[in-house]
Amino acid sequence: MSTAEKTSDTPTFERYRVTRKLRSGPITDLYRAEQVTLGRPVIIKALGRGILPSSPFAAALEREARLLTELDHPNVIRVVEFVEEKETTWLVLEHVDGFSLEEILAQKRLSPVAAAAIGFEICQGLAHAHEHGIVHRDVQPANVLVSRDGWVKLVNFAAAADERLPTAPELLDGSAGFGTPEYMSPEQLLGEPEDPRSDLFSLGIVLYELITGRRPFDSSDEKARSHRTRHDPVPPLHRTTPDVPASLDRIVRRCLEKMQSDRFPNALDLGRALAREVEDGGFSSPIEAVAAELARVGLAPKPEVRRDSIRMRVRLKPPTVGAALGGYLAALCLIGGGGAAIQYKSAAARGERAARTGVRLELVPPNVGYLRVVADPWANVVVDGEQVETTPFGRSIPLTAGVHYVRLEHPAAPTERRTVTLSPGETVLLDVKMDVARPKRQVQTTPAVPNLTDPKTP
C-alpha cells in the first residue's frame, strides 16, 4: 500500500499501523495492522467513515467486544482491546495467518475427513460459547477462519444472542435480520426462539457444503429456499460425493433435522462423533488433518508430523501385537491372584496417559442406562435423531443416563414420538403399537336368486 493510499483512504489508529485493508462493508471496515509497541500483527474492525461513536452501530460493536471478552478458547477469535474515541470506534482482534472457509470453498472442495476435522474444531468453539450462554446465530463459512497450521477460529459474534446482554441495537452489516438466510435453521427462519442446537443446524449446512461443494437446500428464490429448509429431506451426500463414509453422512443428516430435539443435544456430543471420523481417517488430531488438507489443495506447505490431542474422548484403536501379548500376560496374572495390583497399575497408566495426551479413553460410558423397544408390527427406531435399529431385536440399547427422544417410524403408520428418561443402571421398556393403516376388505355380495313365481320379477 502506498503512502498516498494510506493518507487518502486509510484511517489512523493510535498505537497501530495499518498494513492492508481487508474488507469494506456498509457499517464496518476490516484492516490488517501491526501493534507498534509489540510488533505483532492484529486485525482491526472499525466503524466506517461518517458513523459516530454515539450511533447504535457503535453500541453493537461494543456489545460484540463484551461477548468476546467473556470467551477464552483456542477455537474462538480473541479480543485484544476495544477503543472508543470522539471520532470513531474500533475493535482489535488477534490475527490469524490463513484463510476463511469461504475463501477455501471458492477454490477447492474438501475431503470428508478434513470437513469432519474442521467441524470438530468449530464444535469446540461453539461448546465453549454455549457454556457461557452465548448462541452464535451466524455460523457460516465467512465466519470461520482456518490458519495455515490447521487451527480453526470462530469469528464475528455481531449477531450472537446472550440472555445477559440486550439484543444488538443494530447489526454491523447493515442487514435487518440476525444470521445469514442460506445457513439459518428452520426455527430462525420462522422467527422462533433459537438455542444452541440452532448453531448445530447451521454447522450441518457448512459440513454439507464442505463435503459436496453445495448447500443442501439452495434455491435462487428466497421463499423456495426457506420452504426447502423447513420441509424437504436432506439430499444424500453420496449422490455427489460417493466416497463419503456412511457414518459421516448420518452425522450431517442428524445436524439437519427439522426439529431441534432430533438433532445432537449439544456441540460436545456432535464433536465426539466428528472426532471418531477424524480418527478413522488415520489422523491423530483434527489440527493435523486440517493442515494436511491445506497442503493437499496447495494452500499451505506440507506439515510436520504432529501428535496434538484430539481433546475429546475417542474410540480405542486396535491393539498392537505387543499390547495383545501384554493383555494375555495380565490376564494370567489376574487368574493367579495379582488382579488388584494389576488393576492399580493399569489405572495409574491410564491416568498418566490421560494427563499426557488430554484424551480420556473409556470402554463403557459412565452412568449408562438401557432402552428396550417393542413395536407392533414393526418400526424403525430413531434415538436422538439417529436411526439405531429396526424391530424386532432382542438386545437393549445402551444410552447415557438422562433424557432421550425416541421416534418409531413405519411407512404405513403415523410416527410415534416418546420422551424417555433413563437413570444409571435402569432398563426402560418402550412397548408401542403402531397405528398401521390396513386396507379395507371388499365384501363380495352374492347376487339375489330371482323368484320365478313372483309376477314382478322380469
- One pLDDT digit (tens) per residue for the chain, 458 residues: 333 344 456 788 989 999 999 888 888 899 999 999 999 999 999 988 778 777 788 888 999 999 999 999 999 999 999 998 877 899 999 999 999 999 999 988 899 999 999 999 999 999 999 999 999 999 999 999 999 999 999 999 988 998 777 655 445 544 444 568 999 999 999 988 889 999 999 999 999 999 999 999 998 889 999 999 999 999 999 888 999 999 999 999 999 999 999 999 999 999 999 999 999 999 989 999 999 999 998 988 887 654 444 444 443 344 444 544 455 455 444 444 444 443 444 444 444 434 433 433 333 456 788 898 999 888 989 888 777 888 877 778 888 887 787 888 888 888 898 888 888 878 888 889 998 886 555 545 555 555 555 555 55
Count of CB atoms within 10 A of residue 396's CB?
14
Q: What is the largest CA-CA distance in the chain?
A: 122
Task: Say if pTM beats, i.e. exceeds, 0.95.
Answer: no
224-233 contacts: CB < 8 A, separation 24 or more?
225/181, 225/182, 226/181, 226/189, 229/184, 229/185, 229/186, 229/189, 230/186, 230/189, 230/190, 230/258, 231/258
pLDDT score of 359: 39
Q: Is 138 marked active-site?
A: yes
Count of CB atoms within 10 A of residue 332's CB?
10
Instruction: Please state, in angstroms and rounded to a whole number, the distance separating the CA atoms of residues 28 and 43.
Output: 13
pLDDT score of 163: 76
Q: Which of 9, 29, 97, 138 is catalytic?
A: 138
pLDDT score of 24: 85
For residue 101, the Cα-to-chain-centroid distance in whole angstroms is 15
C-alpha dihedral sign at 40, 43, 48, 53: negative
Phi, psi of 422 (to 5 degrees): -105, 140
Instruction: Please state, in angstroms and rounded to a whole number, the distance separating the CA atoms of residues 442 and 433.
Output: 25
For the record, the C-alpha cell of 172 comes out as: 454491523
List of residues 6+ apart from 305 with CB closer than 8 A: 288
DSSP of 112-125: HHHHHHHHHHHHHH
pLDDT score of 367: 74
Instruction: Please state, in angstroms and rounded to a whole number, the distance separating the CA atoms of residues 271 and 125.
Output: 10
pLDDT score of 410: 86
Instruction: Please state, in angstroms and rounded to a whole number, the distance separating the CA atoms of residues 432 and 121.
Output: 40
Instruction: Please state, in angstroms and rounded to a whole number, the distance separating the CA atoms of residues 150 and 110.
Output: 14
191-197 contacts: CB < 8 A, separation 24 or more?
194/135, 194/137, 194/161, 195/135, 195/260, 196/126, 196/130, 196/135, 196/266, 196/267, 197/260, 197/263, 197/264, 197/265, 197/266
How many contiguous H segments (helices) and E segments (strands) does the chain have? 12, 17
Domains and their CATH numbers in the chain: 3-94 (3.30.200.20), 98-296 (1.10.510.10), 368-433 (2.60.40.10)
**CA-closest candidate to residue 119, choices 246, 275, 237, 256:** 275
pLDDT score of 167: 59
For the record, the C-alpha cell of 374 comes out as: 417393542
